[in-house]
A and B are shown apart, each in its own frame.
Chain A
Amino acid sequence: MTGLGYTIPAVVSVLAVGALELMLLRTGLFRRPAYWLSMVIVIGFQILTDGWLTKLSAPIVIYDNRQTSGIRFPFDIPIEDFLFGFALVTAVLLLWERQRERQ
């Protein structure tokens, strides 16, 4: 369990997306209630789909346990997946919002 392979890049991805907004794009996404409400809904559905993808009884995605924190919750979802998902979805919404300003 080094935590280097997945845990650290996952944390870095969230920090990078935060920095992208705060230092470069400045779309104001983080001040929109619609964003936070959407993230709650997205995480809810992530638990269902990701729970299916990562269930240890019949996994679709298989992780090297030495490269993760080892914490899997809820179901068998590696908690790193939530950072990964947060960064993915937030980055897309940031680029979507940036184009609103250009319109």
Chain B
Amino acid sequence: MDHWQYLIVLGACLAITLPLEIFRPGVYRQAWRAAHAVLPVAAAFVLWDEIAIAARIWHYNPAYVTGVNIPFHMPVEEVVFFLVIPLCALLTYNAVSAILRMVKRR
């Protein structure tokens, strides 16, 4: 079970932010726009991460990751991180923007 820990943390982040999609216009409902915001940034950060791992600036505890890596030495969890955290941020921004609009309209 411990090997799933990193993925479980990321799954919890997705689950907690999912209800924020009720606010309009939504993030998942604009999947194309979300992909164009998330993917280029994720690519840049994956590159940074790869360099940092290669330079041994940080590494991942083998006890808490699945052991599935993408080239070169990056746990697949880290790739998921760069998709999940930006989605959580977009959902937060979407919700805060919607709430501020509602407050203003009063």
Contacts and interface: CB of A to CB of B under 8 A. Distances in A.
- The answer to whether A binds B is yes
Interface of A: 5-6, 9, 13, 32-35, 37-38, 41-42, 45, 49, 52-53, 58-64, 67, 85, 88-89, 91-93, 95-96, 99
B72 interface: no
Contact of A92 (B52, B64, B90, B96): B90
B24 interface: no
Interface SS of chain B: helix, strand, loop or mixed? Answer: helix
A95 B86 CA distance: 11
A38 B96 contact: yes
User: Mostly helix, strand, loop or mixed at chain A's interface?
Assistant: helix
A99 B45 contact: no
A13 B36 CA distance: 20
A88 B57 contact: no
Given A49-B9, A93-B93, A96-B37, A62 B59 contact: yes
A42 B89 contact: yes
B41 A88 contact: yes
B52 A5 contact: yes
B41 A34 contact: no
Contacts of B58: 6, 61-64, 67
B33 interface: yes
B79 interface: no
B6 A99 contact: no
Contact of B92 (A38, A64, A88): A38
A37 B48 CA distance: 27
Contacts of A52: 9
Q: Sorted from nearest, which 8 A-B pairs have the closest CB atoms?
A: A96-B37, A95-B37, A5-B57, A92-B86, A89-B89, A34-B97, A38-B93, A91-B41
B29 interface: no
